[in-house]
Structures are given as structure tokens and as C-alpha cells.
A and B are shown apart, each in its own frame.
Chain A
């Protein structure tokens, strides 16, 4: 038995790595987050807007622990969690040991800049003579050899690019804090970890390899990422789509899909490109309605939650779709326009001219992947992606090493984040016995005495060398600060952030006896932590000090007008003094956690979630409405791949039955749920009407979905018209015999008006069934009538295999579906063949319908839990990308088909991710409220209840005896909706009193 180490190494700080590290950090493990780049975020910070809502809500990924300040945090920039140690510029050199106890050698390349001294003032970059293509803008503009990766990167420590630095030394001369040292050595360290999560991501296929498209040769042929950067407001063109050759807005843009994927060399689907192409097409159409946008595609794979609607949105905006693969692009040397040569579906040649062409380049394993995977000793597939195990997407060939995101298979952000949660769950399960072994106890809040003392405000003004003084006369500001009420000391410092200065500041504050502190300095994101530590040591309550940004938001924007900048600095300072004078110390309320879970639904996702919780040591109530566990998977006999669903499910059933931590309640429903995250009380009702009350801290909804029963194509009127599921049962139980012709029709009850979403699973079902028919009876003709074949990632191979075996795929349009004419003797199907003129008529022995997944009636449960359903009746997650298993109600999570149609392995990963989110709560004995929460002034409360209905977090309720509204501080997220809704300020937000706000307004006016 190995001594398990309560730490996990996460390789790659992209969106998946961030999620995994945060999940582990929150549930009592130390996480080393390693990235070869100087900063975190991976590809994500380069993307400005995200499908399917064109928004950016990356901050939703943030842990709730720093909620009071979370409005200041953005994951494009920075991440702070005391249990995460960030190791940028680092590579894995060697891994030894075994699951539970690995030793990893990590090499960190020196950035030649001392981070503790760098103030991010950018003087070094101004003098650096070296200019190189900027990776952040995908080479569309230049950066210096000393640089920060993106303008908004925080911490904004500079870093020297060794490859291009000429060591001229100019930067050393200008650096005001002596932060640059070209001899700063590289470091190598050994860390002990119990598990490893690989989230090393992907590398974009180099489109120049496909010479026929002229990438890198023709100025106006770009890849998707370059277009993202052009459309980004922070990019070179500040969001204008200007084509490189002449800086003009293109009138006609062509997108080419599947560049470097779905071909003989890389016969897999890159999964995410259809969606980001749609996004870019939509953004272009919204911004430039007159620009023509045409997408050349093979199959439009918009299969995720909400994606099909996004596809429809693109169509409504006038984006055109041509089903064709472009064979060659030629540039007109004069106009730099691009001539696209291709063949239409009907065989005619298309030649058309475009101003701009965008290539959807495939996701490939990163250049360093081979080396890394060898060091880890994990198996890879034929293309170099890490091989994951049957059913378990995140398990590699090596125990204790898990994988998520594109390191294992091309994936979009949504799926990567789910897998990251699943990988964290695997690691946490393996290391459950070592939980809390290495994490620091949360910092004690300072016992604050400030309430009955006289208010004494200390003001510290940073000059930041010349950075602030160039625009703001800090001496004048300091003099002015002396005159403000309750200000007892004012101090100017040259560089606040240097370690020695912080030490001095701490001493002088202690000496002055101040009980409130204001810093007038720079961007708070990184320094907030440094200052927080200093203030804690100086005995200042966390709610009684504040930082005002007078550098980026003041000195840098008013460089040319010193008088006004100084005036503004005074006003902002006066406002802050007024605010902090009225500030009381804010307390944190601890609340006990019932360390048990309720899982609703004992299908595959429910069972996996329950087992994940049980194996981490948490008692779980597993409630199932039917008598049998297993859900829809109970009727599955085979799958795309070689797995045996029945054996898998029986194994799960056995484990559930044998687990002493799981209490299974068959034929039982949940009829009432009260309480809040960490402490719910629920009533279970069995078939015989007996009720049981249970107390638990978290809830996972895994109630599954139902099969669509078709009304189309004469289903139910003829026993030779069946569904894929019925076909599978026939194939397994009786065999089909030797039918001459089998026809399958796709998208029955999905991607239609009543069900505007892709079912995700039925193309795979159709292909596996078609392959099995061909195996049983090679002479049987099998036709698959489809609108798009959705075989994403490595499912593509089976699609190819089916075509090689002779399965015929015929595409039809939604407006022109196949006609079915069935009699007792024969079934005739007429369909428009895009290749041949006129209709194709097929006589079939068997017609198989690929039916959709629809929701059961979830309304009652949604109401019991106060969680939302989406327009299709599936349970709604807070954010499809970044919080895919969280509901708006803290402590309630969703997974499996209750949330959206998914394949079995995807459901399993989602169940693990949901379980891990629940563990984040259950692994703590206490939950803490934020310091800033809303409260009720009982005297003023009119009991009208507007705040209760307005609260999106169910954090308020009405006390019928006292006739007042009451706040549950654990649930309150301090959004302030109640404050805005309450007409007479009976609803208040601590730290934002009316008087404070009014005096701040008065001070700046």
C-alpha cells in the first residue's frame, strides 16, 4: 500500500486544466498547475466571443471562495486560489513512482525578469529593439523580445523571449526597479503528487501543409484563429474585419471546413470547427450585414447543447452553406482576390471569387505532446492523442494519470470542461484518503476591533516610479488627503509593490494606529493578494482597506493633462475616504454542512455519480422512480467501439448494491426539498406512499430522458418500420436474416421544428447498426438517408468504415424529406438524390428510424428543486461552457440526459464532474458566507415579497410570523437584485450602504 500524496499535478493551464485544478483545490487537494507558456488560459484568452451565445462568461469558472472580489477577477487574466501553485514557463521532464505517489521533475525556464520586482510599467518593451511576430495575435502583428503575452494579462510581469533576445541590455538600463537579470537561472524541482491530470490541449494544424489553399502565400487566406483576433476588440484592428492585403472590409468571405481533418492522413473530425466557423460567420454577418458569407462544409456538426439553434441563427442571418470540399484556391495577383474551384453536389464545377478565405484548421496533438506522453508513459492512438479507456473518457492506460480535453480527442470548451471535472473526480477518488493533507487552513479573519474605536484612515499613495507622477501630482494629492476627515496619516511611496516597501508600509501602519487603509496605486488583480497579506499582518480587517487604481485607470488615460488628472485623483480619493469611513467590519457567517448527497435517478449517470461520491467517502441516497436501475442503457447491447454495455451496467449495479455508503430507494420520488447548499432536508415518497425524510448537503439530478415515439413515416402502422433501438434488439436476439434492403432515416424527432436540437447519439447508433447488418449479411443493401452525419472526433473512422463496407449515405434537405409508402407487402421510399436527377426510389424490407431523445415531464421536479428548464424541457445549467453541471441554485447539480442528449461515455464523464462539484461542498465541514451579503432592515420591510421573487438564488424568504423578509447568507451571492427591487431600501448590501454610496457620489460630483 502506497502512502498517498494529497496533491495533483495538472499539466496545461488551459480552460480544462483550470477547471480541474480549481475542482481539486476546492475539495481539499493541492494542485500544481504547470504550463509551458508564461501565463494561464491556453487558447481561450485569444477568443473574444464564444458560441453559442456570443458572450464571454469565463469568470463563471471561478471558484466561489473569492466571491466578494470576484467582479474584479477574470480568468483571461489571472487566477488566485491558495491551494493552487502556478508554475508557468515549465515542462515535465520525468515522472517516476506509481498511482498515489508520483515524483515529477519539473523544469522551469527563467523569464529573466524578477517577478517580485516587476511593476509592469512597460518601459523595457518601449526600448527593446527586437520585433517578432506576436503569438497572441497569431502573427498578425509584432511584439518585442521582452513582452507580456496579452495586454490584459495579469499579473502583467514581463518575460524575455530567449530565442530572439539579443542581450543588448537596453531594458536593463531603463528598468526602474532593477527587475531584469539576464543571468537569472532556470530552475528544476521535484514535486510529489498522488495523481496527474493531462490537459495539454492541442495545436492547430499548419494549414500551409495543404499547398493548394495557399495559406501563408496568399495574403487573404487566414485561419480561424487569425479571424478571431481580427474580430476581437483587443486585436490589431480593434474588432474590424480588414483583409490583410488592403485593409478593407471584405465583401465576400468563404469559410473552408475540415482543413487537415477528415482526410486520409487524419481521419478524425476536429469536432469544434463547425461551431467556431458558425460563430465567426455570425459575428461577421452581424457586424457587416452586406458582406456575403459562404461556408463550404462536408457535414455541419452542431451537436452540442444549444448548437443547432445557433446554426439556425446563422442561416437566418443569411450565411450560405455549400456542401462541397474546395479543391484549390488561386490568387488574383492584382486584386489579391481568391478564386475557389470546387465541385457542387450535382457534379457541376463551381468557380467563384472571394475577398477573404478562412481555413478551419484541425486540432492536432501539440508539438510537445509526444515527448510529454513518453515521459508520462501513457498509450497514444495512431494520431498521437492520448488513448482513453472504454467508457471512462478521462482514464489513460496508466493508473493515476488522467486526461481531459483535446489531449485525448478534439473537443470544444464545453466538453473539455466536463471532462476536466471528471478527471478531477478520478484523482480525488484515488486520493480520497489524503484529502486535506497538504492544503493550508483558510486564513483566519482578523478579529476586528474597529467598531468602537475612533476612525483613523491611513492613505498610502504610490508613485510607481514616474508612471503615476508623470500625470498626477502626487504631492498635491497627498496634501489634499491630509485635509480629508478622519485621515490621520498620509504617505507617498516610490514603488508600493516591492517587498521592502510593503514591509515598511506594514510597520508605519501599525505605528500610526490606523484602523482603515486606502492605497492609491495600480491594477488591483495581482497586488490585491500582496496587499491582503500585508494588511492581515498589520491587523487590518479585510473589509477595512481598499485599493484605488490611479495608474491604469487614471495616470495612463490622462497623460496629457496633469491638472485634470490630479483633480480626478483627489476626487476619487475623497470618495474612497468617505466610503471607508462609513464601512463597518464585515463578518463571515459559518454554516455547517451535512456531508451526504442525494442523487435523483439511478440510470448510468445516477449510478456513476453515486459511486463517485461513495468512493470518496460520502454517504449517498440514490432514488429511482422505477423498480430497475440502469435507465436507457439497460436496453443497450452494443455501442460504437467494442464495449459491452450490459456487462458495464451489471458491474455498476453490483458496485451500487455492495456499497455500504449508498442507500438505494427504488420506486421512489422526491416530493419536497427544503434548505440550501450544505444543508437540505428532503422528503422521499415510495410507491406505497410511505415517506422518508433525509438530510443532505448536495443534490445531483440524473433523471435521464425519454425516447421520442415517432409519428412520422408511418411508424406504428407497419411492423417493418422500427426504431434503431428496436433494430438493435432484433440484431442481438433473433438476427435479421438476409434482408435485401434496409433503409435508415436520420433526424426523426430531432433537428426539426418541434425539437430544434441535435440528438448527438443517433448517427453513431445508425452506423453501428449498419455495420452489424453488413457483418451478419454482407449482401444486404443498407441506405442511410441523412441531413448531416454527426460522427465527431474518432467516430469518423466508423463512418469511413461503413462507407467502405458499402453502406450508402444519401443526403436530403429538411424541406424535402423522404416519402415513405408502406403497404403490407412492401415499403417504398422516395428520396431526392443530390447526385442523380429526379427522385431515387428504394424498396426496403425494413425501414429504421433514428429517433430523437425528448424530455419526460421535468416540471414537477424542477419546481420542487426551484431550478430551471430550458425551452426543450431539459434541466438548464448556469453556463453551457464553464459551469456545465451547475444549476443556478447552489448545491444542486445536473448530469446525463436530464441535461442534454449525450452518448454513454459522455454521460459518465458528466456524472463524475457533477459528483466532484458536490464533493466541493461535502468535503467541507463548514461553508462560509461572503462578507458582502444582503440583509434586511426589518423596521422598513413592508413584507411585499418583491425581493423574494427577484432573488435568482433563492436566498430570500418571507417570515410569516414576523412579517419580514429573511436572507439566507449562505445562498446570497451579493448580486444586489433585491436592493434594486426593494422600493425603500429595506434590502441592503453590506459594504454598500445608501449613505456610503450617496457620500461617494457627492464626493466625486
Chain B
């Protein structure tokens, strides 16, 4: 069992207690930078920011229920070519961490010098819904309400059916599930790096603490509940989009803007095949094809685009829902990708983002897998 310490919630204020902890990391020179969402001065959004001056951390808001960008993408941008040269703590949601793990396996990001701090995630609203909420309530209100067990129909579709609201791979977890949030949060170190953070902060870590056990039980309950929700969700999705006809209908509104691809944290190609010269055709080709068919839908290949993306992403889809959030025409991309992704992942016994040791299905050769293929 991992070592853990507690973080006292001062005056019942969760956000400022966490922010003080993060500021400590900088001022005690445990790390030299922190990547964390800061509240936008306008109050209508939060923005992932790389902070070196502890004063800025007063504006940090890790539980603010909005995720404009999956931070896996940000780490990718930072470390694809060279790893971080300074010790940097990154505070991320579980789906962001899972995206990061997939990106590391795909050599698109490097973990050297990074200290991964994960939070138990109560979910987020769409960027467009967030200002309304922020005008009335705080992130403290949000997190307390969420762990009280009430369903929140305002949450993004992805968050409502999220399979892993707690981090799978992290150095340090800021645990809020199963804790008396008026008093304390749990700081759970699951690696040596995590312990290094606790030590640097001057916190005494203990093995098998009662708080950790409480969280463990609460997490189990939470996951069980989610399992039921997901099953219903899949059943419903199958009805909505099952079969070629329905699939064509679902993708009908697509304008091939490719926002979904840009927003997806795991879609990692440097230059998408669909914007490559292969798809730059001469008028002759278009007109030839149109002549053959009598009519040719433009832009072309919208369905091919989505199916190709699905082929590439199914095994690594972490279900963050960024694609659906990015779609201007409300195509239920999360539903489609989660249903397919979960089935594909089951097939290969693969959980994306769980561990760096799990081999990516396209690269793992097993002599005896999928033997049923070709059976009558």
C-alpha cells in the first residue's frame, strides 16, 4: 500500500488549501515550475498555465468544473522533442493523465523531471456552460456536491459516464473521495517521486492510513455505481447508432472541419493523412467521380475520415469527450468512440493510460489472440 499524508482544509476552504500546497512546492524549491489551471481574470474559464512565481498560484483552481483543453496535449507540446529540463509538477485530471500515458507510449511526450499530481475528478461542464455556473458558485461547492452522490445532468456527456474518475497512474494523488472535505484531503504517494514531493513539503507520510482506507472503500463504491451507469449508456448508444444506416445518419451533420481530431489528446499524427497531398485532388478526379456516380457529396470522405480516426484511436481512446465538446454540430462522438473503444480495448485486454508497461495493442504480438476470427 502506498504512503499517504493528509492536507488540512483550512477554514473549510478546499481551493485555497490546495493552492497553498502548490505554492509551497515552489517556495520550498521542491519543484521549479507547476502546470495547473488558473482562473481566467474574466471569471468565465480556467486556463492551464505554467507557473514559476508562487504568487500566481492564488488563482489556481484545480476543481473548477471546466476542461477547455486536455492537458495531455500541453505536456506533449512541451516535451515531444526534449524532456523537461527543470523539475515540474503537473496537476491533472485522471483523463488527462491517461492521455499523457498513451502519448508517452507513442513517444509524443516524456516524463523525465515531471511530477504527476492527479486529482479525484468530479467532472466538468462544457466551456460554454461554465460561466453560468461560475457566476453563482465556487469549485468548493462543486466538489462537495459531486461527492455527495447527486447526479448532475449539466456535466459533459463524457464526465457523466467516466469510467475512471480517479487517477490510474500518478506520482501523487490529491484524494477527495471518501474524505471529510470540511477537514482534510488525502495526499497519496504512489511512486518514489510522489514520496519525494511529500518529503520536500515536510509532510510525514504513513503507510496504510485510515484516511487512505476510507478513500479506497469510497472509490470502490463509486466505480461500482459508474459501472451500472455505463452499461445503461452503452445499451442506449447501441440502439441509437447501431448499424450502418444509423451510423451514416449520426455523421450526417459532419462538415469535416476536423475539430474533433485537433481536440483529441491522443490523435497524435504530426500531419493528418486527411490534410495531406493524398487528398488534394485535381478537378478532373472530382468531376470524374461525380460523373460515375451522378452526384458526389462535398466535402468528400467525411465518413472515411471518422472511421479512419476510429481505427487509429479505438485502442487508446480514454473517453475524455474532448472530441464531442469540439464538434460544432453536436455529433455524439463521445458515445460512438466510447462504445467502440471499450469493446476494442476489451478485445485486446487493454486499458489505455493504466500503465507504461501495458503494450499498445498494435505493437503487441500474441500468437493466440483473436482465434475466433474466420470461424463460421
Contacts and interface: CB of A to CB of B under 8 A. Distances in A.
Interface in A961-1005: 963, 981, 983-986, 994-995, 998-999, 1002, 1005
B289 A944 contact: no
Contact of B271 (A950, A958, A984, A995): A984
A994 B271 contact: no
A946 B278 contact: no
A985 B312 CA distance: 12
Which interface class (under 10, 10 to 19, 20 to 34, 35 or more) fits B?
20 to 34
B301 to A, nearest CB: 10
B312 A983 contact: yes
Nearest to B103: A944
Interface in B104-158: 106-108
B278 A995 contact: yes
Contacts of A1002: 285, 288-289
Contact of B270 (A940, A998, A999): A940
A556 interface: no
B360 interface: yes
Given A963-B81, A983-B312, A1005-B292, A942 B362 contact: no
A942 B268 contact: yes
A1002 B288 CA distance: 10
A941 interface: yes
Contacts of A50: none
Interface string B268-295: 1111110010100000010011001000
Contacts of A985: 273, 276, 278
Contacts of A986: 269
A944 B312 CA distance: 13
B249 interface: no
A984 B292 contact: no
Given A950-B363, A981-B362, A941 B270 contact: yes
Contacts of B363: 945-946, 949-950, 981
B268 to A, nearest CB: 6
A868 to B, nearest CB: 10
Given A946-B363, A994-B278, A984 B107 contact: no
A984 B81 contact: no
Contacts of B268: 942, 944, 983
Interface centre among B81, B278, B285, B289 (most CB of A within 10 A): B278
Interface in B225-276: 268-273, 276
A953 to B, nearest CB: 13
B273 A946 contact: no
Nearest to A1002: B289
Contacts of B288: 1002
A984 B106 contact: no
B369 to A, nearest CB: 15
Interface centre among B108, B271, B289 (most CB of A within 10 A): B271
Nearest to A958: B107
A462 B268 CA distance: 50
Given A950-B362, A983-B312, A940 B106 contact: no
B357 to A, nearest CB: 14
Which interface class (under 10, 10 to 19, 20 to 34, 35 or more) fits A?
20 to 34
A492 to B, nearest CB: 26
B271 A944 contact: no
B278 A940 contact: no
Contacts of A946: 106, 360, 362-363
Contacts, number: 57
A983 B269 contact: yes
A825 interface: no
Contacts of B292: 1005
A984 B269 contact: yes
A958 B107 CA distance: 11
A998 B278 contact: yes
Interface string B27-71: 000000000000000000000000000000000000000000000
A334 interface: no
A264 B288 CA distance: 79
B278 A942 contact: no
Contacts of B269: 940, 942, 983-984, 986
Contacts of A945: 106-107, 363
A984 B274 CA distance: 8
A317 B306 CA distance: 44
Interface string B348-376: 00000000000010110000000000000
A985 B106 CA distance: 16
Interface string A581-625: 000000000000000000000000000000000000000000000
Contacts of A940: 269-271, 273, 276
A958 B106 CA distance: 13
Interface centre among B81, B288, B363 (most CB of A within 10 A): B363
Interface centre among A939, A942, A945, A983 (most CB of B within 10 A): A983
A943 interface: yes
A949 B108 CA distance: 16
Contacts of B360: 946
Interface string B301-339: 000000000001000000000000000000000000000
A963 B82 CA distance: 11
Contacts of A983: 268-269, 273, 312
A841 B114 CA distance: 72
Contact of A939 (B107, B271, B273, B312): B271
Interface centre among A984, A994, A999 (most CB of B within 10 A): A984
A995 B276 CA distance: 11
A518 B345 CA distance: 45
B239 to A, nearest CB: 30
A984 B311 CA distance: 12
A944 B105 CA distance: 8
A984 B273 CA distance: 5
Interface in A927-945: 939-945
A485 B306 CA distance: 32
B106 A942 contact: yes
A943 B288 CA distance: 37
A995 B279 CA distance: 8
A581 to B, nearest CB: 12
Contacts of B289: 1002
Given A942-B106, A998-B278, A984 B272 contact: yes
Contacts of A998: 278
Nearest to A950: B363
A341 B86 CA distance: 87
B78 to A, nearest CB: 15
Nearest to B309: A983
Interface centre among A942, A945, A998, A1002 (most CB of B within 10 A): A942
A985 B269 CA distance: 10
A995 B106 CA distance: 27
B60 to A, nearest CB: 32
A1005 B292 CA distance: 9
Contacts of A950: 362-363
B276 A984 contact: yes
Contacts of B273: 940, 983-985, 994
A986 B271 CA distance: 9
Nearest to A993: B278
A949 B107 CA distance: 13
Nearest to A998: B278
Contacts of A942: 106-108, 268-270
Contacts of B108: 942-944
B313 to A, nearest CB: 9
Given A942-B268, A994-B278, 8 more contacts: A942-B269, A943-B107, A943-B108, A944-B108, A958-B107, A983-B268, A984-B269, A1002-B288
20 contacts: A939-B271, A940-B269, A940-B270, A940-B271, A942-B107, A942-B108, A942-B268, A944-B106, A945-B363, A946-B363, A981-B363, A983-B269, A983-B312, A984-B271, A984-B272, A985-B273, A994-B278, A995-B278, A998-B278, A1002-B288
- Top 3 A-B pairs ranked by shortest CB distance? A949-B363, A984-B269, A983-B312
Interface of B: 81, 106-108, 268-273, 276, 278, 285, 288-289, 292, 312, 360, 362-363
